[in-house]
């Protein structure tokens, strides 16, 4: 076993060892170790970037689907929101009611899934 000071010396040292034992009963043949699984995975590219990109695309698609569903539901809710504003609720209170309703619907959907 040989410990090297620099990885750059590996080829030179390996050749020197092989030449020293040529035509002996203990002839050596230097070869590289097989690559580790990490090296194999790195061949596919930047996995972290790939996962983050796919996750971002999925999240953006969910936002589009949610916005589309909200677009279908809002026209029916305009009159309800107008009544709340007419009887004196502030814009923040109406926004709170809409968000609270969304959270309740999401929690019910998650509990049934």
Query: In the prediction, which pLDDT does 57 show?
Result: 94
The domain spans of the chain are 1-32, 45-112
- Per-residue pLDDT band at 88 (split at 50, 70, 90): very high
Please determine, for residue 81, whether its predicted confidence score (pLDDT) is greater than 90.
Answer: no
Q: What is the pTM of this model?
A: 0.39
Query: For residues 45 and 56, is the Cβ–Cβ distance under 8 A?
Result: no
Neighbours of 20 (CB within 10 A): 10
Q: Which of 56, 57, 7, 53 is CA-nearest to residue 32?
A: 7
User: Quick check: 35 pLDDT over 70?
Assistant: no
Q: Give the whole-angstrom CA distance, residue 2 versus residue 105.
A: 66
pLDDT at 104: 86
Band (90; pLDDT cuts 50, 70, 90):
very high
Summarize pLDDT for 49-77 with one digit per residue, the tens. 888 999 999 999 988 887 777 777 667 77
User: Residue 93: its pLDDT value, please?
Assistant: 93
Rounded Cα distance, 93 and 86, in Å = 13
């Amino acid at each position: 076993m040989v410990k090297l000071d620099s990885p750059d010396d590996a080829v030179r040292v390996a050749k020197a060892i092989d030449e020293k034992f040529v035509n002996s009963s203990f002839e050596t043949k230097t070869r590289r170790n097989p690559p580790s699984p990490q090296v194999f995975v790195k061949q596919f590219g930047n996995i972290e970037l790939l996962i983050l990109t796919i996750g971002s695309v999925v999240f953006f698609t969910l936002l589009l689907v949610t916005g589309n569903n909200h677009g279908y539901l809002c026209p029916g809710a305009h009159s309800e929101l107008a009544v709340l504003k007419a009887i004196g609720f502030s814009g923040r209170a109406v926004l709170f009611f809409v968000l609270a309703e969304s959270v309740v619907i999401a929690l019910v959907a998650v509990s049934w899934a």
